[in-house]
A and B are shown apart, each in its own frame.
Chain A
Amino acid sequence: MELLNSIKKTMGGEAKLAQVVTEIKVEATKEIKSVANKIKLGHVHLSGCTGCLVSMADNNLGLIKILDDYADLVYGLTLADVRHIPEMDVALVEGSVCLQDHESVEDIKETRRKSKIVVALGSCSSYGNITRFSRGGQHNQPQHESFLPIGDLIDVDIYIPGCPPSPELIRNVAVMAYLLLEGNEDQKALAGKYLKPLMDLAKRGTSGCFCDLMTDVINQGLCMGCGTCAASCPVRAITLEFGKPQGERDLCIKCGSCYGACPRSFFNFDVMEEFENINEIIAGALK
């Protein structure tokens, strides 16, 4: 957190991103690779369906490259033989927290204490998502009834919404988190700017639903009918009627994706204008 705060400050110091990006590209992947220190990455599995982890694995060779060159997987129930939550640079937390499950509650607190950056991986972790619909009563722990997104118990630094989150966004955040922690000044500046909107989502709140488009986009006079929200909805709850989104609210699983994906929730021009270069930098880092 400390670290993030200091970086957030330097980000405000208006490094010209376009210039920074070109410099990074000139130094190219050679520079990114030459950084020796791998970061410590962990996957903390709470009440989620493992779809987030599968998405992460769906980066295929990209994931192997990340684990070879940039990050050591120091924790992960499925992938690493470690019992207790260790010190981590970046903790990717999948799933919401079951209040009646003492161990989960302890795990998320421990994760916060031991991690520099806590990332809510996926919509259950960020917004509760489908676990919001739990009423308990499931064999063999019927008392497991109440599930909260992790942000209701700890401070979260970055959200990766999605059900499941896309492999590409997990990849982008992993590469950027690495640059933020281990990169040179330019790389830190780029990573800070890239990650800022995802940090802002984490600050914005722990509930997501179609209604965010109503309250924070349409009601605010910002919707321009692009249709992105409909494309991002995992349950096809959104259709465009006369060019404006309509949500089948009973279908909505409260994943928060549509709002995050909407170009009018956030749009950081300095980063977007560099899309060609940034895509090349990420591709280069994973080559």
Chain B
Amino acid sequence: MIEDPYLGKYITCVSARSTDKEILKKAQDGGIATTLMVYALEQGIIDGTIVAGEGDRPWEPRPFVAMSREDILKARGTKYSISPQISWLKEATRSFGLDKVGVTGVCCQMQAVRKAQLYPINMRDVPGKVAFTVGLFCMENFPYKSLQTIVEDHAAQSLNSVKRMDIGKGKFWVYTERGNVTSLPIKATHKYEQPGCHVCLDYVSNLADISTGSVGSPDGWSTVFIRTKKGNEIWSKAVAAGLFETKPIEDVKPGLDLVTKLAKEKIDKNRKTVEERKTFGVNKALRDPYA
């Protein structure tokens, strides 16, 4: 077990890509999240999973409980807006009747799952029924209107025409169905970020069973942290079943150094924000959620 102050506890870290061509067609990166959940479903490790599907408006995510391969595939691709995944956590065990619940989501949502397990406040049955979690790396998130502003005002594209969005190489990228590629400096998007993200002290979903993101690996590949015993067991079996191509993280560029660098940047900056909240007013502090 490796313990890193920024990357959390993990058993191994690899670079990987799904071997499932259908999943890769619309996956954000290496299709890790989707492939793992489909595998867990098919193996009976979970009987459904919370994913971020399509909402009412273009590129607005909406969480739902997926109970088939088809439904899990509907959630492929990153939507850069808030998807309240955990709102379904208890409902998954009730209305949906799941005994083994999967959860996909960003770092804070992995934190929410662990809090619900350790301090289940009105979360009956949740602690024992969370069966498998796949967390995403996450630098920040955007309210829907922010996303609209970024894409429609800054990138001057209609959200309806967008095929894919991505953050990388210091830019926010917008790809349209008709082949247009627009980017804007990520700096220009900072002011639209969700305020709650500014006190977030996790970049690579330290509390998930397995966490994954694009940073550190080549295009189309994903960086994967295998963290818990359960995560390790599922990962080993999935790799043995041929579901993933893998490479040691040491062999890929830019590798773990970049992940660490970004994690450190995010967490140090946000720690500072938490600190500054203590003297925000005149002899008045803003509340510290970690006190």
Taking Cβ atoms with an 8 Å cutoff, the residues of A that contact B are: 18, 55, 161-169, 172, 194, 197-198, 216, 220-228, 230-234, 240, 242-244, 255, 257, 260-261, 263-269, 271-273, 275-276, 278-279
Residues of B within 8 A of A278 (CB): 118
Q: Across the interface, do B118 and A273 meet the contact criterion of CB distance under 8 Å?
A: no
How far is A272 from B207 in the complex, measured between Cα atoms in Å? 8
Q: How far is the CA of A255 from the CA of B121 in the complex (A)?
A: 11
- Shortest Cβ distance from B50 into A: residue: A227
Partner of B122 from the list A162, A264, A271, A275 (CB cut-off 8 Å) is A162
Inside 8 A of A234's CB, which chain B residues have their CB? 122
- In whole angstroms, how far apart are the Cα atoms of A223 and B201 in the complex? 14
Which residues of B lie under 8 Å from residue A261 when comparing CB positions?
A: 115-116, 119, 121-123
Closest to B114 in A: A275
Chain B residues, CB < 8 A from A166: 120-127
Those of B228-250 within 8 Å (CB) of chain A: 228-229
Q: Does A225 contact B194, Cβ atoms closer than 8 Å?
A: yes
Instruction: Tell me the complex Cα distance, A161–B124, Å.
Output: 12
Which of A169, A220, A255 is close to B120, meaning CB atoms less than 8 Å apart?
Answer: A169
* Residue in B closest to A275 when the chains form the complex, CB atoms: B114
Size bin of chain B's contact surface: 35 or more
**Pairs A-B, 6 closest by C-beta atoms:** A243-B82, A227-B84, A227-B87, A224-B196, A225-B82, A257-B122
Residues on B with beta carbons closer than 8 Å to the beta carbon of A197: 119
Is the Cβ of B87 less than 8 Å from the Cβ of A230? yes
Q: Is B28 an interface residue (CB 8 A)?
A: no
Interface residues of B (CB under 8 A from A): 3, 8-9, 63, 81-91, 105, 108-109, 111-112, 114-128, 141, 143-145, 194-201, 206-207, 228-229, 286-287, 289-291
Name the CB-closest residue of A to B82: A243
A276 to B88, alpha carbons, bound, how many Å? 22
In the bound complex, residues from chain A placing their C-beta under 8 Å from that of B200 are 224
**What is the bound-complex CA distance between A194 and B120, given in angstroms?**
13
A residues within 8 A CB of B115?
A: 228, 261, 263, 267, 272
- The interface residues of chain A lying within 8 Å CB-to-CB of B195 are 221-223
A205 to B224, CA, bound (A): 43
Give bound CA distance, A278 to B124, whole Å.
Answer: 18
Q: Is the CB–CB distance between B121 and A169 below 8 Å?
A: yes
Determine whether the beta carbon of B88 is less than 8 Å from that of A233.
no
Q: Could you say which of A198, A224, A231 contacts B91, with CB atoms under 8 Å apart?
A: A231
